[in-house]
Amino acid sequence: MKWLRDNLFPGWVSGVFSALLIVILAKSLFAFVDWAFLEAIWRPDANACRAAKGACWGLITEKHRFILFGTYPYEQHWRPAAACVLLIALWTFSAFRIFWRWWLALVWLGGLSVIGALMWGGILGMPYVENERWGGLILTLLLSTFGVAFAFPLSILLALGRRSDMPMIRALCVGYIELIRGVPLISVLFMASVMLPLFLPSGMTIDKMVRAQLAIVMFAAAYLAEVVRGGLQSIPKGQYDAAHALALPYWRRTWLIILPQALRVSVPPIVNTLIALLKDTSLVLIIGLFDLLSTVKISLTEPAWNGFGIEAYVFASLVYFVFCFSMSRYSRSFEHR
Amino acid sequence: MSAPMIEMSQVNKYFGAFQVLKDVNLAVGRGEKVVVCGPSGSGKSTLIRLVNRLETHQSGRVVVDGVELTEDPRTVDRVRREVGMVFQSFNLFPHLTVLENLTLAPIWVQRVARKEAEETAMHFLARVRIPEQAGKYPSQLSGGQQQRVAIARALCMKPKLMLFDEPTSALDPEMIKEVLDVMVELAREGMTMVVVTHEMGFARTVADRVVFMDGGRIVEAAPPADFFSAPKTDRAKLFLSQVLGH
């Protein structure tokens, strides 16, 4: 009671505002609960849905497997499901500092091989599935995972290059970063998808998924590079002096002294960029890949379910939110160390 | 007589259009202790930072232990391996423990085995009288302790020459003594030292020579007894009256 009085109603002006806000929040909450639960239809019955006033979760009930796994063969859905679980487990495992050892790389290598085996199949009695048919959540997660894995080291090199004493290297890195940052991701995706094949020798093709992945890596690396550069700039000159005075050569100095400190201060903006990266993978729908958001869109094209976009997008948002929010919480725990 | 440890001849140094060092000539013999003093902005820090090429000079020669410092990174590397340096702001590596700060360069530059590097580190930590702090991070230590760790870190490279750039200027008065004591001890053991400092008591006890700088030039260089009792120039007299005046 005291807390209420002190914080919400300390004077009559803020009191009125508090009361007003409480009323608005309560009304919206009731309306939402009413729509999402009380009046909602859970059966996959489009006609019942049209009659009802509430949400039509029946759409999700019927379409959730397509939304989550895309055009992957229906009876094989356990494979992308297992791959998703495995990938999430790998990330969770890597979140713990005590596992930050050299063998963590081996764990990832092993884990990703198993994921590859699951997804492609062709061994252990699992029928082969070409990656044109991969889709939904696992595509989003894989694009993000490989996006981070390649973009992050690349971004560190770009950031170091941008601060290099060598004019050629510096110019190249600045040029790359500014060029990529200056164009929308969609155009990078288009370039990778449409123009890249034109430059390849005839007969050689690169898989569409790899092309999209390449575009995402290139794009994320440019953004991350600027974040890392910010961290590098926060290192006091005295640290360089001390490293020089101890005769540490460039790469050891960078690896042992500068980067550990620079990356630590960059954790919040790095996570910020990674969250953006995860959500940006949804743009691959533009070049015909079926990630989580594309599968939602496609499932709405069926005439019976036309017009229930809100429910489908709420569902997709919820999935994205779970991942992004976990990342955000994790980075918070990092800052408070 | 063997060649001097440091030999600077006709050294000029500019920051942009501003000339920080003007025709500096200085030789420091082996085992010699030189204290460099002078008003702020007189170029003292720049002078000793030239010795391990934290700054570059535009003309003249800087020769350290027989190696002339040039654009060639190998000369720089050779000199830096022989020269230890202690900074005003300690410049310990905050993300590493005291022990890791001390073993880093021996392990990664001199390729000493970890165990041996740790033994050396503990030896020097004992010498600066803080062996019990080995597992702590720099931020957990007082300023005086941090500076002593910094001295130990430089000593772990077994240098032939130690440079001190205002090592006590950032310290609270009660911690200055503990750092100076370590430096006096080091001097007694015969280390060649160049020390930029305003601690005139230290200069009197330890220095073989006091070098007084003003406006980028070496104005006077004399044994401490002569310098303190009979400074030759007005600028040195003025400086001494300001430093010792109260």
Instruction: Kindly tell me if the per-residue pLDDT of B1 is higher than 60.
Output: no
Which residues of B are less than 8 Å from A247 in CB distance? 77, 80-81, 105, 109, 157
Q: Are the beta carbons of B95 and A247 separated by less than 8 Å?
A: no
Phi and psi dihedrals of B27, rounded to 5?
-125, 135
Residue listed under structure tokens 């360089």: A240
- Which 3-state string (H, E, C) describes A114-178? HHHHHHHCCCCCCCCCCHHHCEEHHHHHHHHHHHHHHHHHHHHHHHHHHCCCCHHHHHHHHHHHH
What's the longest Cα–Cα distance across chain B? 55
Residue A13 pLDDT more than 60? Answer: yes
Q: Does A264 touch chain B (CB under 8 A)?
A: yes
Q: What is the mean pLDDT of residues B99-111?
A: 95
Inter-chain CB proximity A242 and B93 less than 8 Å: yes
CB-CB under 8 Å, A242 with B95 = no
In which band, very low, low, confident or very high, does the pLDDT at A156 lie, cut at 50, 70 and 90? Answer: very high
pLDDT score, position B194? 96
pLDDT at B218 over 90: yes
- Residue range A246-272: average pLDDT? 92
pLDDT tens readout for residues A46-103: 777 777 777 788 788 778 888 888 888 888 888 988 999 999 999 999 888 888 888 9
CB pairs under 8 A between A and B: 58
The ipTM of this complex is 0.93
What would the pLDDT profile of A119-140 be if each residue is shown by its tens digit? Answer: 888 888 888 888 888 888 888 9
* Subunit contact B91:A242, Cβ cutoff 8 A: yes
Instruction: Check residues B232 and A297 and name the one with the higher pLDDT.
Output: B232
**Cα–Cα distance between B25 and B162 in angstroms, integer?**
19
B236-246: pLDDT as tens digits: 999 998 887 65
pTM: 0.85
Residue A337 has a pLDDT of: 58
What is the rounded CA–CA span in Å between residue B209 and residue B204?
9
Of A238, A239, A246, the CB nearest to B109: A246
Q: Do B81 and A247 touch (CB under 8 A)?
A: yes
Q: Which of A6-20, A251-265, B45-59 has the lowest mean pLDDT?
A: A6-20
pLDDT at residue number B245: 67
Selecting from B54, B89, B94 the residue whose C-beta is nearest the C-beta of A261 gives B94
pLDDT confidence of B143, banded at 50, 70, 90? Answer: very high
Residue of B nearest to A263 (CA): B95
Report the phi/psi class of residue B13: left, alpha or beta, with left for phi > 0 and alpha for psi in -120 to 50.
beta
- Could you read off the pLDDT of B39-65 as tens digits, one per residue? 988 999 999 999 999 999 999 999 999
Question: Does residue A248 belong to the interface with chain B, where contact is any CB pair within 8 Å?
Answer: yes
Where does the pLDDT of residue A336 fall: very low under 50, low under 70, confident under 90, or very high at 90 and above? low
Tell which wins on pLDDT, A228 or A310. A228
- Nearest chain A residue (CA) to B155: A246
Select the residue of B87, B93, B105 nearest A247 (Cβ to Cβ): B105
Residue A204 has pLDDT above 80, yes or no: no
Greater pLDDT, A40 or A21: A21
B166 or A309, higher pLDDT: B166
Q: Read off the pLDDT of residues A311-328 as tens digits, 9 standing for 90 and up.
A: 888 888 998 999 999 988
Q: What is the pLDDT of residue B162?
A: 96
The residues facing A56 across adjacent strands are A41
Contact at CB, B154 and A239, closer than 8 angstroms:
no
User: How is residue A224 written in tokens?
Assistant: 């991350």
pLDDT of residue A34 exceeding 90, the answer is no
Distance (Å) from the alpha carbon of A182 to chain B's nearest alpha carbon = 34
Compare all CA atoms of chain A with the CA of B51 and give the residue at the minimum distance: A245
Is residue B64 less than 8 Å (CB to CB) from chain A?
no
